[in-house]
Each structure stands twice: as C-alpha cells, then as structure tokens.
Structure 1
Amino acid sequence: MRQGHANLRVNDKVEVIAGKDKGRVGKILRIENANNRLIVERINLIKKHQKATEATQSGQIIEREAGLHISNVMLVCPECSETVRVGKKLLEDGTKVRMCKKCKATIESAK
C-alpha cells in the first residue's frame, strides 16, 4: 500500500518543526513515499565514513543529508512566509491546486 504525501513536493520550502534542526528552513530535494521520509537541503546532516575503493582514492568522511519524517516538517507559504497547513482548491478550469490555509493564496510548484 502506497502512502504518499501530496501536500509536499520537490523544491518546496519547508521548516523543521521537531528534532535537532527545529526552526531551520530548507528546500526539499527528494521525497521517499515508500517510508514517508524526505531529504531537505542542508538539514539533518550526517557524517558518512567512506572506505577507499581503489588504490588511488583514499578513504574520506562525507557529510550528507539524512532523511526526515514528513510529519516533522511544515510547508512555508511563499506569500505570507509562515509555516502553514495546506488545503486543496478546485479552480474554474477544473484543475486542483494547493492553497495556504492562513492567507488563502494558491501555492504553485516551483519547477
């Protein structure tokens, strides 16, 4: 059974509302619907110790983003710049769009 989370999309600006990075804002890089996690740019950084793969390449410590659970982030509205809940609205032409619950502005997906 696929869970998914249609309220958040790649390139959306989100704020972390729980955990060690609480209060930090970043852009969504990747969404993993299978386990309800997402990768946010420069948030929840971990150090990965990488072994040398060839004789010429030395081992190194790589800093990269780890996954966050979807429930630990909230969308930042581009209009009112606040963390908001997301609603759905049906336009006159029949398309369904996301809308900010605070300022009622439509949230366009940044491509």
Structure 2
Amino acid sequence: MKVHVKKGDTVIVLSGKEGLRGETGKVKAVMPKEGLVVVEGLNLIKRAVRPNPRNPQGGFIETEAPIHASKVMPICPSCEKPTRIRKKVLPDGTKVRACAKCDGVLDTK
C-alpha cells in the first residue's frame, strides 16, 4: 500500500478514539506494507513488562501504538492547514509532494 505521509511529517488525526481525534503530532515511523504510521505522543498504550536487561525493574511501560495511515492527514508547513497531497515537478526535474491548497512544497529534502 502506498502511504501518503513520510517520517518527520506533522499530521492531524481525522478519526478514531475520542481523545485522539483532532490531535497533531510528528510521524515517528511508517509501515507501508501494513499501511500504518506511528505518531509521536499519540495513541499511547500501557504494557506490562517483565524484568529484562533493558528494563531491569519491570513494570508498566507506555508506548505509541500504530494508527492506520488513512486516519491521518499531513499539515502543510506553509499554510498550516490539513491538506491532501499533490505531486509536483520542480524546474530542475525533481518530483516533490505539494500542498493541494496553497501549492507549497511538503518535502524539505
């Protein structure tokens, strides 16, 4: 599945749990085969962990769970609004992702 967001994009959550809807955050990881994204600080889950070398005391840890990519929308850095993605070819021939509303470039690289 082709995912419209990349790692480092700022996104807004369109639907899902009551406390999650409308929240914004940065994409930490993208899993294109599953169509999932992990957003920093959102969709937190608590897990019970046994003592191990990484966590010698054990106990409960809080981590971010993935969200389906169709439930998030990127926020344009220039107009600061949620937007759909358009493909744009720059004069030097490089293809970039552009904002559908203001035609601003989303790719910083």
TM-score (norm 2): 0.90
The corresponding residue for 1:50 is 49
- Please state how far the C-alpha of 1:86 moved relative to its aligned partner: 0.6
In the alignment, the residues of structure 2 paired with residue 109 and residue 40 of structure 1 have an alpha-carbon distance, to the nearest angstrom, of 19
Give 3-state SS (helix, strand or coil) of 2:33's partner: helix
% identity of equivalent residues: 37
| Contact 1:12–1:75 (CA under 8 A) maintained in structure 2 | yes
In the alignment, the residues of structure 1 paired with residue 80 and residue 71 of structure 2 have an alpha-carbon distance, to the nearest angstrom, of 18
Give 3-state SS (helix, strand or coil) of 2:101's partner: coil
The corresponding residue for 2:88 is 89
Residues paired across the two proteins, number = 106
Give 3-state SS (helix, strand or coil) of 2:70's partner: helix
Instruction: After the TM superposition, list the runs of 4 or more consecutive aligned residues in structure 1 that deviate by more than 4 angstroms.
Output: none
Aligned residue among 2, 5, 8 for 1:4:
2
Q: Does 1:72 align with 2:68?
A: no
In the alignment, structure 1 segments of 5+ residues that lack a partner are none
In the alignment, the residues of structure 2 paired with residue 57 and residue 107 of structure 1 have an alpha-carbon distance, to the nearest angstrom, of 42
Q: Deviations over 1:36-84 (max 9, x none)?
A: 0010000100001101237x93321000000000000000000111100
Q: Deviations over 1:74-108 (max 9, x none)?
A: 00000111100010011111110111001111112
- Which residue identity lines up with residue 29 of structure 2 in the other structure? R
Backbone CA RMSD of aligned residues: 1.6
In the alignment, the residues of structure 1 paired with residue 40 and residue 63 of structure 2 have an alpha-carbon distance, to the nearest angstrom, of 9
In the alignment, the residues of structure 1 paired with residue 24 and residue 13 of structure 2 have an alpha-carbon distance, to the nearest angstrom, of 6
- Which residue identity lines up with residue 48 of structure 1 in the other structure? R
In the alignment, structure 2 segments of 5+ residues that lack a partner are none
Higher mean Cα deviation, 101-110 or 84-93? 101-110
Give 3-state SS (helix, strand or coil) of 1:71's partner: helix
In the alignment, the residues of structure 1 paired with residue 48 and residue 2 of structure 2 have an alpha-carbon distance, to the nearest angstrom, of 31
- Which residue identity lines up with residue 10 of structure 2 in the other structure? K
